[in-house]
Structure 1
């Protein structure tokens, strides 16, 4: 693939002609699902594949990720998907996919139950289409061959507490006193984690001891069953979420960037628990934003002491095989919000900064492409530190400079899916206008 558009970018960009030659040598046309063959082959033998997205609101990122996932399930035996979503919500999807609950609902009806802002992350047309296919794939297969769907995130403090209490009432009523104590501690804050977090800035009293005591109790009582009892595993994971969510919100509201590390360690630990629970033959896909999936050591995050899921999975599971896949695009539109908690909008994405990875890919290739990186990543492009665009759920197109992360592409990913022009996701429903102000749950945005 030459990507010849009549332009001569070789002399106009960092790295010059050598960088352009490297890009062209790596790039393969990306027109249909069969063009993913080199990436599928690269993934052969890997137990973990982290598949990113450069925004949470782009149709093409979701579409290509779903197409790749289908091939990995059908051809490479992948058995579970972990996403940047809440554990309780995704556990309901997991049970629906396995035919264990909500059989009367279709995928759109199931996803309509997502309430945490921004709901469009998972309640969108692309995910609904994929889940409908995955349910059919699972139908008729024994449980051990079915594909699961799980939430890796840390936000669901109250929902997870409710799930723990419901399980204890039926299975371990002797632990209810510990659960009630934790619930009573959080009750004054009316299910508002920010209200709880801000209160801890004013007085030294927190609910940490109560929720940790609950975690210890649930680990002890559910842990012995969790190997074969799915409900016990669910209860144990909800206890992990509750304990880490309490810490996350308490640290985040103080402006401590370590809240990022708490969250990504929680997600990486959840990946480990899922892999252990599903057995040594299981193979997992992780769907998250590039900012979580791309190895933090190849960005300026490392300078600030931040880690992420991609780095942690590589460090912990290199012997099992790990592949990190990023996405990038030049321009188009994106579904996002002008402020945290606001209704979604289809916003324009302007042409990428010319000196960024995206700007150079556009100039050199000029068309959609798949780039699978070689073992040697010290080349003039793969080894260069250049800006790489990241769009969050809050986006202001007029302030593009703040959306670029210094990145060494060859260290951050093992492959990149490049798209010239992208379009906004189609949500299943619109975000309601909040009755009260919403507070950002990301420690720093993107």
Structure 2
């Protein structure tokens, strides 16, 4: 796992590549009839708005109802986290799924303990949003996310008996709250509480979480720290069933996952298990905002090793009740100028569609040429914290088929940059210079 992080910034995963051992061929065996594919897309695509108002009509999103159906989890994977229009669309999708289809949880790729602070705010109104964002991952420190939190707070104020919850599934910067919750439970129920207290006394952050991350990452015995964290998880897991047992086990696993992550090990199912756990505990239908390389269902062909994503685990667990939606775009001005999608990218064919934004269901019977485009291994764009226009095609997820990764796609022709809370140059430095990348399967992009 390549490390590019600064201790001052959030080291959460942000789309770094990890090629398969033997990736499937990336190119079609014969030239694709792009015009035939474009005609099919043009006939089936439904135009949508990219409006940003939280009161704009949602009727243009009605095709989403048929796409989602009875799904319990909808994964919305964006090609980049830095596009205003992609955020606007995923926010409108969230509103539609909450207001019209009864979804009651939003899962984001933010630390479990930080997201608990966001969740407390949208349920109670307590706390200042901008202050809460001070130590959040850089991609959330935007005016767009501030507006989304404001809408969630307003919705919950108007629906106090049926709120939308906000859940974090990341574990790169675990705050003291998780340790404390474990210790409270262990003190009540475990004869081994002294051992757990001894381990956590060594492990628990006592100041700013960024300082704690720096301490862990520079520690001479990270394996030893991990062993302590795992031992506490074992102690908690061995306890008989008591009220709060499942929550304590989860907090202990999050803590152990944090130390594993910074010791160079990766609990590959932890984020997906966070979504599965929330569904099992609450029964809520879930909207998952993720990066494309995390939410896509990745089932590579011709690989000696099956590299999987969170979306793959969710697909295995929920079956057809997990729906994967891609947010793609053609070109625009982000932290850098992004050129029109390279012809080797599956979504490049959308440039031939005379619509600025549309939603397309990828499932069902299709003509043979469309089947080649949809069902053969290809690439799709994924842009992380760095970008090289001369190598646009390299910023991509690969080794699988477009129609395997996604059930549907929302495409935006042109995008602009998100509105960072802080000065753009500083925001770019915090994001691009302060990221630790979690491996993304099948990605042949450039390492940032």
Query: What TM-score do the two structures reach when normalised by structure 2?
Result: 0.77
Q: Which one of 279, 304, 323 corresponds to residue 275 of structure 1? A: 279
Structure 2 Cα separation of the partners of residues 136 and 381 of structure 1 = 43
Residues 382, 409 of structure 1: 8 Å contact kept: yes
Structure 1 Cα separation of the partners of residues 112 and 359 of structure 2 = 32
Residues 43, 49 of structure 1: 8 Å contact kept: yes
Structure 1 Cα separation of the partners of residues 331 and 304 of structure 2 = 29
Structure 1 residues without counterparts, runs of 5 or longer: 1-11, 227-231, 253-258, 335-345
Structure 2 Cα separation of the partners of residues 402 and 50 of structure 1 = 24
Shift in Å at residue 56 of structure 1?
Answer: 1.4
Within 5 Å, which residues of 2 pair with 1:285-324? 285-297=287-299, 305-318=306-319, 321-324=321-324
Q: Does 1:382 align with 2:374?
A: yes
1:400-435, Cα deviation, whole Å (9 max, x unpaired):
24202234111110110011001111112355778x
Residue correspondences, number: 393
Residues 293, 382 of structure 2: 8 Å contact kept: yes
1:213-236, Cα deviation, whole Å (9 max, x unpaired):
21233445696223xxxxx76544
> For residue 286 of structure 2, what is the aligned residue in structure 1?
284
Q: Which moved more, 1:152-161 or 1:167-176?
A: 167-176
Distance 1:186 1:78, change over 3 A: closer
Aligned partner of residue 152 in structure 1, secondary structure? strand
Structure 2 Cα separation of the partners of residues 298 and 376 of structure 1 = 22
Structure 2 Cα separation of the partners of residues 194 and 405 of structure 1 = 33
Residues 54, 327 of structure 1: 8 Å contact kept: yes
Greater relative contact order (CA < 8 Å, ≥ 6 in sequence): 2
1:82-107, Cα deviation, whole Å (9 max, x unpaired):
111100110111111111xx6253x4
> For residue 247 of structure 1, what is the aligned residue in structure 2?
260
Structure 2 Cα separation of the partners of residues 299 and 402 of structure 1 = 20
Structure 2 residues without counterparts, runs of 5 or longer: 1-29, 51-57, 441-446
Within 5 Å, which residues of 2 pair with 1:94-133? 94-99=119-124, 103-105=126-128, 107-110=129-132, 112-113=133-134, 115-116=135-136, 118-119=137-138, 121-133=139-151
1:366-415, Cα deviation, whole Å (9 max, x unpaired):
53221112233672321233321100123344442420223411111011
Residues 186, 196 of structure 1: 8 Å contact kept: no
Distance 1:186 1:199, change over 3 A: farther
Aligned partner of residue 375 in structure 2, secondary structure? coil
Give the RMSD, CA atoms, in angstroms.
3.3
Q: Which one of 126, 146, 168 corresponds to residue 151 of structure 1? A: 168
Shift in Å at residue 130 of structure 1?
Answer: 1.5
Aligned partner of residue 288 in structure 1, secondary structure? strand
Shift in Å at residue 180 of structure 1?
Answer: 3.0
1:259-304, Cα deviation, whole Å (9 max, x unpaired):
3xx24x111111111111113xx2111110011111111589x665
Shift in Å at residue 28 of structure 1?
Answer: 1.7
Structure 2 Cα separation of the partners of residues 48 and 393 of structure 1 = 27
Distance 1:303 1:427, change over 3 A: farther
Shift in Å at residue 131 of structure 1?
Answer: 1.4
Q: Which one of 27, 36, 41 corresponds to residue 23 of structure 1? A: 41
Structure 2 Cα separation of the partners of residues 391 and 27 of structure 1 = 24
Residues 179, 251 of structure 2: 8 Å contact kept: no
Shift in Å at residue 326 of structure 1?
Answer: 0.4
> For residue 360 of structure 1, what is the aligned residue in structure 2?
349
Residues 296, 412 of structure 1: 8 Å contact kept: yes
Q: Does 1:43 align with 2:43?
A: no
> For residue 74 of structure 1, what is the aligned residue in structure 2?
99
1:128-165, Cα deviation, whole Å (9 max, x unpaired):
1121111111125344x211001011212454654446
> For residue 438 of structure 2, what is the aligned residue in structure 1?
442
> For residue 339 of structure 1, what is the aligned residue in structure 2?
none
Distance 1:427 1:213, change over 3 A: same
Residues 176, 204 of structure 2: 8 Å contact kept: no
Aligned partner of residue 46 in structure 2, secondary structure? strand
> For residue 332 of structure 2, what is the aligned residue in structure 1?
332
